[in-house]
């Protein structure tokens, strides 16, 4: 009958309202609090990745060769011995640069078959917004 209190209906409405508020809050936070990685954070992440790949060698990012783009950075690397000491026998060959996405933290290995601009354009074309 009309006018009678139905606790099940009340709880359902309250739960929907709570769910709507929670969804709204998540949406606001998702739009407002997007974390972007800084260059320093990106270098740290890349060097951690290089430590795993280096298998005991000491590989570091060559800061002077870093390329910055809207999506993030392209990092080049080599051995510490070559970069700091100039020892050509310690120089890496075939070491393809890494792309670091400042929005997602993704690390993507490029290649050495083409100039780096080819890989950058390819990445930009496949990773739009």
Structure confidence by residue, pLDDT tens digits, 68-120: 999 999 999 999 999 999 999 999 999 999 999 999 999 999 999 999 999 99
| Predicted pLDDT of residue 19 | 47
pLDDT band at 33 (very low <50, low <70, confident <90, very high): low
Q: Report the predicted TM-score, pTM, of the whole model to 2 decimal places.
A: 0.72
Give residue 16's pLDDT.
45
- Same domain membership, residue 88 and residue 46: yes
Q: Are strands 98-101 and 107-109 parallel, antiparallel or unpaired?
A: antiparallel
What is the pLDDT confidence band of residue 26, given thresholds at 50, 70 and 90? low
Which domain range does residue 83 map to? 39-126
State whether 25 and 84 are in the same domain.
no
Do 26 and 52 sit in the same domain of this protein? no
pLDDT, tens only, 50-76: 999 888 889 999 999 999 999 999 999
Both 70 and 24 in a single domain?
A: no
What pLDDT score was predicted for residue 2?
54
> How many domains, in total, are found in the chain?
2
Residue 22 has pLDDT above 60, yes or no: no
27 and 70, same structural domain?
A: no
Token output for 62: 């060559």
Same domain as 91, residue 56: yes
CA distance 74 to 71: 10
| 50 shares a domain with 91 | yes
Looking at the structure, tell me whether residues 48 and 22 fall in a common domain. Answer: no
Token pair 């949406």 is at which residue?
27
For tokens 């392209």, the residue is 74
Q: Are residues 85 and 55 in the same domain?
A: yes
């Amino acid at each position: 009958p009309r006018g009678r209190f139905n606790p099940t209906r009340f709880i359902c409405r309250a739960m929907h309202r709570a769910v709507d508020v929670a969804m709204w809050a998540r949406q606001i936070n998702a739009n407002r609090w997007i974390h972007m990685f800084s260059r320093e954070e990106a270098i740290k992440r890349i060097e951690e990745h290089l430590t795993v790949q280096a298998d005991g060698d000491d590989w570091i990012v060559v800061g002077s060769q870093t390329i910055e783009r809207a999506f993030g950075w392209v990092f080049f690397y080599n051995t510490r011995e070559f970069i700091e000491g100039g020892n050509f026998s310690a120089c890496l060959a075939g070491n393809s640069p890494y792309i670091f996405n400042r929005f997602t933290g993704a690390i993507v290995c490029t290649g050495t078959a083409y100039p780096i601009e080819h890989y950058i354009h390819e990445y930009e074309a496949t990773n739009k917004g």
